[in-house]
Amino acid sequence: MKTAGKISPPRCGCASKSRRVILVLAILATLAVLFFRKSISNRLVEHVVLANDAPSEELLQHAIQSSPNPQAELLAAWNTGKIVQRELAIRTVASIAPPDHACPPGLEGVLLAGALDPDENVRETALSELNLRHDPALAALAGAQLTDADPEMRLLGLQYLKGEPARVGASMAAPLLDDADPRIVAEALNLMNHWSGEDFGVKMRDVLPVVNAKTGLPEFPPERVARVRAGMERAKAWLAKHSAEFAAAPAAIPAAAFAALRPLSAGDFTLPSLDGPSVRLSDFRGKVVVLNFWTTWCTACIGEMPELVELQKRDGDHLAILGTSLDFVPNDDQVARLPSPGEIRAKVARVVRQRGINYTVLLDETGAVGARFNGGELPATVIIDAEGNVRRRFIGPREMAVFNAFITAASHAVGSEN
């Protein structure tokens, strides 16, 4: 006798397998769609980062870190030839290849080239990274800064020589004992103290400059200059007796540094001038352009205006100076009340009259051009050659001699300055 109960439905083995296959295929299809969407999203982010003139650092890092090939993505950002992407890219090298790991050749090439870059910020980051990695090319690349027309770069080069052996470093630093800038002489003396075990009687605190309230440039009281000169004479006398001990030269700059260098195009833009008509950067093709970002509230910006006025008087026929005001970009003091465009324009015009500015003044009303050239730190200056390539970008005021050297170099083809 059969026990009463619910009769189980008939089961077919082949039907059960079919349902499992369908379920698996559905899951795979869902994953494929999600992956495809993510892939499209990543590609869109990558495109925005590479095409945008001023992407955010967060956006670039996301694009690199989410890429299936972070190194290739970083190199793509570097090779855009755009100022913002390149600076962000070189700052991101450490996140892909930490200093305590071997640096892939492609990324090392970026660091080596970065130490010779037209952009001051890129040079600083590249030399810092090479120092952390104890890269054997550091001495040669630091040495390359010692002959730069910019005293800030000469100081930068000296700072990265301290880790070098005396036989190499002393011979490289010795010529800087005759530098016109007391800060550089004092830094060279500080290094000579370190390598020689002697004390030449000058400390960096002894030559702290006094900033001129009008120009924003460092100035040195006569007594500090005299102290540096005395130390320099003592160091030279000591070197004359020990010159045979410090004759070694650093290795040559690696070919990879030059191979990774790329032209840095300034691109083009159009901005209204204070006088009214719009001005295109490409209108000045064939001339060297000094693109200077400033604001009416920046003391150092105001201070260097006499240098630019003098340049315009002297070289206005074959040089274009574009003083680009970023006053329309809000600063921290303007959170409560942002002046109207008319008020800003009137303030800029007032400074132009008061300072006797004789060069073209542009109004960057959206801040887009300033962002493209990383003009947030002020004053920021970009030297553009006749072909439209950036030859130098630097932060802070410079003396006339530095402007002269940069403009002369930009008047010649790349590699023919010397």
351-374 pLDDT tens trace: 999 999 999 999 999 999 999 999
pLDDT at 44: 43
Strands 380-384 and 288-294, bridge-based pairing: antiparallel
- Predicted confidence (pLDDT) at residue 296 exceeds the cutoff of 70: yes
Residues in contact with 68: Cβ distance below 8 Å, sequence separation at least 6, in sequence order: none
pLDDT band at 269 (very low <50, low <70, confident <90, very high): very high
The whole-model pTM stands at 0.84
Residues in contact with 285: Cβ distance below 8 Å, sequence separation at least 6, in sequence order: 386, 387, 388
Alpha-carbon distance of 314 to 407, in angstroms, equals: 12
How far apart, in Å, are the Cα atoms of 206 and each of 138, 186, 222? 29, 8, 12
What tokens appear for 34 in the block?
């999600």
Could you report the per-residue pLDDT of 106-121, keeping only the tens digit for each? 899 999 999 999 999 9
Could you report the per-residue pLDDT of 331-349, keeping only the tens digit for each? 766 555 678 999 999 999 9
- What three-state secondary structure class fits 363? strand
Q: What average pLDDT does range 41-64 have in this prediction?
A: 72
Least Cα distance to 352 among 363, 341, 336 occurs for: 363
Instruction: Give the alpha-carbon dihedral of 241, 243, 245, 246, to 10 degrees.
Output: 140
Could you report the per-residue pLDDT of 162-216, keeping only the tens digit for each? 888 888 888 899 999 999 999 999 999 999 999 999 999 888 777 777 877 776 6
- Predicted confidence (pLDDT) at residue 88 exceeds the cutoff of 60: yes
Alpha-carbon distance of 239 to 342, in angstroms, equals: 63
The CB-based long-range contact list for 211-219 (8 Å cut-off, 24+ gap) reads 212/303, 213/299, 214/303, 215/303, 215/304, 215/306, 215/397, 216/299, 216/300, 216/301, 216/302, 216/303, 216/304, 216/396, 216/397, 217/303, 217/304, 217/397, 217/399, 218/183
